[in-house]
Amino acid sequence: MTVRTRSASQGFGDVRGRLRSAGLRWTPQRRALIDVLKATNGHVTGAELVELCRGRDPETTPSTVYRTLEVLEEIGLIKHSHGRDGRQEFHIAPSSEHGHAICESCGEVRELSDADVDDLVASLGGAGFAVDLSHLAVGGLCHDCRAAEVAEA
């Protein structure tokens, strides 16, 4: 049940328009990256995106990908954070801010619901700390990996 209704931010559908209205351009490379991002419906590292784009067009260069990611983040289409290994991780910007639970074994990412974090936010808020949900990362083991680990032992 890893969040189905991921109808990301209202406008993942009209990227072209959003770019244009910002005086930016709609290019084949950008289209490719958008498609790839859509297909991932989750979290990917910059390097992975470069690879995925290369799958479509072997000519793809890292600089273009990273520069486009920058642009997409600027117009609020995607967000990025960092994985455990320190690499950048991008994901389609959600309609609402939310944290993530990342399995340290298989890397699976699940989004945290408001209910999951309500108390934490309240607790820290009481101490004067304003939580930024988009930068809340919880490490751990997902159900499957945990079972696998127990089995090994």
Q: Give the residue, chosen from 7, 38, 39, 47, that forms a contact with DNA under the rule CB under 7 A.
A: 47
Contact partner at residue 142 from DNA, its own copies, none, CB < 5 to 8 Å by partner kind: its own copies
Q: Give the residue, chosen from 9, 46, 54, 145, that forms a contact with DNA under the rule CB under 7 A.
A: 46
Return the half-sphere exposure (C-beta side, CA atoms, 13 A cut-off) of residue 152.
6
Rounded to an integer, what is the distance from CA 70 to the centroid of its chain?
13
Tokens of residue 131, six digits? 């939580």
The residue among 40 and 131 lying less far from DNA, judged by its C-beta, is 40
Q: Which of 46, 142, 60, 45 is nearest to 101 (CA)?
A: 142
Q: Which of 89, 87, 98, 93 is nearest to 74 (CA)?
A: 93
Order across the sheet with 88-92: list the strands.
43-45, 88-92, 78-82
Q: Give the residue, chosen from 3, 71, 117, 120, that forms a contact with DNA under the rule CB under 7 A.
A: 71
The residue among 9 and 81 lying less far from its own copies, judged by its C-beta, is 81
Residues within window 70-129 making contact with its own copies, judged by CB under 8 A:
81-88, 99, 101, 103-104, 110, 112-113, 115-120, 123-124, 127-129
Smallest distance, its own copies to C-beta of residue 139, A: 3
How many residues interact with its own copies (rule CB under 8 A)? Answer: 41
Dist CA 32 CA 39 (whole Å): 11
